[in-house]
Amino acid sequence: MAGKTKIPYTPDFGRVPDEMIPRPMLTADIINTFLNDTSGKRVRIVTGTRGSGKTVFAESVCRQIQNEKSWISAFLNPERDMLRDLAAALCGRKNLKEMFTAAKINLSAFGLGPQIKGVQPETDPEAALAKMLGTLKRRRKKVLITVDGASNNSSTKLLISALQGFMQKDLPVYLLLTGLYDHVRSLQGQETLTCLHHIPLIPLTPLNTGRMEESYARVFGLDSGTALEMARQTKGYAVAFQALGYFTWKNRKEPERAVAETRQYLEEYVYERIWSDLSAEDRRVLYGIANTPDGSVASIREYLQESSNRFTPYRTRLIRKGIINGDSYGVVRFELPLFDEFVLKNYPPE
Ligand X SMILES: Nc1ncnc2c1ncn2[C@@H]1O[C@H](COP(=O)(O)OP(=O)(O)OP(=O)(O)O)[C@@H](O)[C@H]1O
- Interface size with Mg ion, residues (CB under 5 A): 2
Q: Closer to Mg ion by CB, 146 or 292: give it.
A: 146
**Which segment (5-13, 67-75, 256-264, 307-315) binds ligand X by CB under 6 A?**
5-13
* Contact map string, positions 231 to 250, toward ligand X, x by CB under 6 A: -------xx-xx--------
Cα distance between residue 55 and residue 178, in whole Å: 8
Contact 8, 236 (CB under 8 A): no
Q: What share of the chain is helix, strand, coil (3-state, %, to 5)?
A: 55, 10, 35
Cα distance between residue 137 and residue 131, in whole Å: 10
Q: Closer to ligand X by CB, 162 or 177: give it.
A: 177
Determine which helix (DSSP H) or strand (DSSP E) holds 238, and give its type and residue range: helix 238-250
Cα distance between residue 314 and residue 237, in whole Å: 22
**Among all residues, whose Cβ is closest to Mg ion?**
55
**Which segment (48-56, 161-169, 298-306, 329-337) binds ligand X by CB under 6 A?**
48-56
The letter for the amino acid at 25 is M
Q: Closer to ligand X by CB, 87 or 177: give it.
A: 177
Q: Closer to Mg ion by CB, 150 or 193: give it.
A: 150
What residues numbered 140-159 form the site for ligand X, per CB under 6 A? Answer: 149
**Of 189, 203, 193, 194, which is closest to residue 46 (Cα–Cα)?**
203
Q: Closer to ligand X by CB, 20 or 324: give it.
A: 20
Q: Closer to Mg ion by CB, 160 or 204: give it.
A: 204
**Among all residues, whose Cβ is closest to ligand X?**
53
**Of 138, 61, 44, which is closest to residue 100 (Cα–Cα)?**
138
Find the binder of ligand X among 56, 65, 175, 266 (CB under 6 A): 56
55 binding Mg ion? (CB under 5 A): yes
Determine which helix (DSSP H) or strand (DSSP E) holds 144, and give its type and residue range: strand 142-148
What residues numbered 180-219 form the site for Mg ion, per CB under 5 A? Answer: none
Shortest distance in whole angstroms from residue 17 CB to ligand X: 4
Q: Closer to ligand X by CB, 301 or 321: give it.
A: 321
Find all residues with CB under 8 Å of 103, minimum gap 6, and list them: 131, 135
Contact 201, 320 (CB under 8 A): yes
Q: Closer to ligand X by CB, 46 or 86: give it.
A: 46
Burial class (CB in 10 A: 0-12, 13-18, 19+), 221: exposed
What residues numbered 9-28 form the site for ligand X, per CB under 6 A? Answer: 10-15, 17, 20-21
The letter for the amino acid at 7 is I
Burial 150-187 (b: 16+ CB within 10 A, else e): bbbeebbbebbebbbebbeeebbbbbbbbbbbbbbbeb
Shortest distance in whole angstroms from residue 231 CB to ligand X: 12
SS3 161: helix
Shortest distance in whole angstroms from residue 70 CB to ligand X: 27
What residues numbered 188-207 form the site for ligand X, per CB under 6 A? Answer: 207
Shortest distance in whole angstroms from residue 192 CB to ligand X: 26
**Which residues here bind Mg ion, judged by CB under 5 A?**
54-55
**Which residues here bind ligand X, judged by CB under 6 A?**
10-15, 17, 20-21, 48, 50-56, 149, 207, 238-239, 241-242
